[in-house]
Amino acid sequence: MILESAPLQVKPGQSAAFEAAFGEAERIIAAMPGYRSHELQRCLEREGHYLLLVRWDSVAAHEVGFRQSAPYQEWKRLLHHFYDPFPTVLHYEKIAGIPAPDEPVSRSALAVAERQLAAYNARDLEAFAACFADDVAVYRPPAPEPAISGIAALREFYAKERFSKPGLHAELLGRIVMGARVFDHERIHGVRESPFEMTVAYDVEGGIIRRVYGFAG
């Protein structure tokens, strides 16, 4: 795994607009093959200074897989006009460090949760299914038995009941990561006549989602 580092200087007076645009753009990068995780940090001492850190499987995943893709054009449209000067991007590999006790597990869980949400909103069945284990189980409490068992059943359900709906969109209202479990509070559009809220818990093992618990309002 490699780390992409991009120090960003945003034009004066445009920080709020940039942060809003980044909130939209990050869903693009999270859906790319070879993407692992990312974070955008705001400098405390210098207004308009940011640091973008993205973890990729390889340099090629970033330089070829992302930068030579069609989604990169939308990324550029959303963000590049904010920069002055244009950032110099470098890639790093880790040689030392002591992570927090749960950091590797939490980062892995967060990364796959971000990927599946981006794929869901893109209605990309292949990218979405790649986030789940072959023996995935989807529960809808209080029912004790899984509503969906196995990757084939998951693919069939989402192909017919979700990704066929043109207005489908999951709006992320909040997220909590606790070790290998991610809790998302979402507002779902395009499934019912009116948007509805739900909480979804994802249990992650080995970088993929093995169990899902959905609590719909």
In this structure, what CATH number is given to the domain that contains residue 37? Answer: 3.30.70.100
31 within some domain = yes
What was the pLDDT predicted at 107? 83
pTM of the model: 0.55
The tally of domains found in the chain comes to: 2
Residue 165 in tokens: 């709906």
- Residue 108 domain-assigned (yes or no): yes
Average pLDDT over residues 8-37: 93
Residues 134 and 173 in one domain: yes
- Which of 70, 92, 114 is the C-terminal boundary of a domain? 92
**Same domain as 119, residue 209:** yes
Do 115 and 155 share a structural domain? yes
The predicted-structure confidence for 77-135, as pLDDT tens digits, reads as follows: 999 999 999 999 999 998 987 655 556 778 889 999 999 999 999 999 999 999 999 99
Res 1: pLDDT: 85
Structural domain range at position 10: 2-92
Domain membership flag for residue 130: yes
Residues 55 and 114 in one domain: no
Residue 75: C-alpha distances to residues 4, 28, 175 (Å): 16, 7, 23
CA distance 128 to 158: 9
Q: Tell whether the model's pLDDT for residue 36 goes beyond 90.
A: no
Q: How many helices (H) and strands (E) does the chain have?
A: 6, 10
Decide if 161 contacts 173 (C-beta within 8 A).
no
The secondary structure of residue 1, as a DSSP letter, is -
Domain-embedded: residue 97: no
Per DSSP bridges, beta strands 132-139 and 148-149 are: antiparallel
